[in-house]
Amino acid sequence: MDQWFLILVSISISISISGLLKLIFNRYFINKKSARHKLPPSPQSIPVISNFLWLGRISPSNIHSTLNPLHAKFGPILTIYFGFRPVIFIADRFLAHMALVQNGAVFASRPPASATQRVASSNQRNVSLSFYGSTWRLLRRNLTENFLHPSRAKSFSHSRRWALQILENRLESRAKSGQPICVREHFIYSMFCLLVIICFGDKVGEDQIKQIEEVQRRVMLSSHRFNILNLWPRVTKIVLRRRWEEFFQLRQRQKDAAIPLIRARKRLQEITVYLMLIHY
């Protein structure tokens, strides 16, 4: 047992040293020699160490409060290294339009996803992480035509009224009890009601909505805990095995909450098509 432990430790140390040397070489030598690798300004940092510290400092819940002071100091374009990967943040809408619209072909594709992103996105099968190609174009067309198009926004007016009525009923019921009202909680629940009916096309029970809300909230709040798993996935799957298990369990809970609703919607569409064929 001791021998196996020493072997695992030796392998982990060798991989870690190799990765650190690769990071230092790529960032501090190759980029200086090649002008085409010049990146926007970034905060002063301790080589290697600060790169990993950013993984724990920035999460979806605090990204704006963390980046706003940095943008005020370094300008609208900012580079931050997350582990081995440089990430560029743009805070100016004109520059964002220039990059994403005027030069869209240059920035159309996405980089390879991290280990946790591949699991969370079903191997990069969503519109924000998918590689540029037929799959991404299909996802984008589905998003723009079925959700973001003005005509579709008008068709969801009854759903918005339904969610607003839920919010009013919950606030009124709480006010009658004479207890303090946590407005944020009721607003979040009402927004999830609206998003669920938009995504799945049917009014879903309160228990299912609360299940989806709880899972998505845990995903958002726990994202920073799983960033460290992307450093060296082969090593972290051994050293941080329990955290990987926690991540897989959370992902499975997402599937358990969403897949039954997707299948129910698919069956409803099949029945609708079948009835239309019989009618004609």
Q: What is the pLDDT of residues 56-102, one digit of tens each?
A: 566 666 677 777 888 888 888 888 776 667 788 888 889 889 888 88
- Tell me, what's the pLDDT at 280? 64
Q: Report if residue 200 sits inside a domain.
A: no
66 domain residue, yes or no: yes
> Is residue 88 included in any domain, yes or no?
yes
Residues contacting residue 18 through CB under 8 Å, at least 6 positions apart:
none
Residues of the chain with pLDDT under 50: 1-2, 4-9, 25, 27-36
Q: What is the pLDDT of residue 150?
A: 81
Asked whether residue 48 falls in the same domain as residue 15, the answer is no
Classify residue 24: in a domain, yes or no: yes
Decide: 53 and 44 in contact? Cβ < 8 Å.
no
Predicted pLDDT at 23: 52
Domain boundary among 91, 108, 125: 108
Whether 46 and 95 share a structural domain: yes
74 lies in some domain: yes
4 in a structural domain: yes
Structure tokens at 206: 């309160």
Indicate the number of domains in the chain. Answer: 2
Last residue of a domain, one of 66, 90, 108: 108
- My answer on whether 49 and 100 are in the same domain is yes
Dihedral sign, CA of 10, 12, 13, 17?
A: positive
For residue 10, the model assigns a pLDDT of 53
Local structure of 68: helix, strand or coil:
helix
183-200 vs 157-176: helix crossing angle, rounded to 10:
150
- As a whole number of Å, the CA-based R_g of the chain is 24
Which residues, in sequence order, are CB contacts of 278 under 8 Å at separation 6+? none
**Model pTM?**
0.67
**Same-domain check for residues 84 and 99:** yes
In this structure, the answer to whether residues 22 and 79 fall within a common structural domain is no
For residues 73 and 28, membership in a common domain is answered with no
Q: Are residues 24 and 65 in the same domain?
A: no
pLDDT the model gives residue 5: 46
Beta strands per DSSP E along the chain: 77-82, 85-90
Do 53 and 104 share a domain, yes or no? yes
**Do 118 and 130 touch, CB atoms closer than 8 A?**
no
pLDDT of residue 243: 92
Based on the domain organization, do 52 and 98 belong to the same domain? yes
Whether 259 is in a domain gets the answer: no
The token pair that represents 130 in the structure block: 């998918």
Q: What is the pLDDT of residue 22?
A: 55
Does any domain span residue 235? no
Residues 21 and 43 in one domain: no
| Residue-range definition of the domain harbouring residue 11 | 1-32
Q: What contacts 124, CB < 8 A, 6 or more positions away?
A: 110, 113, 117, 118, 130, 131
Contact 171, 186 (CB under 8 A): yes
Point out the domain boundary residue: 92, 108, 124: 108
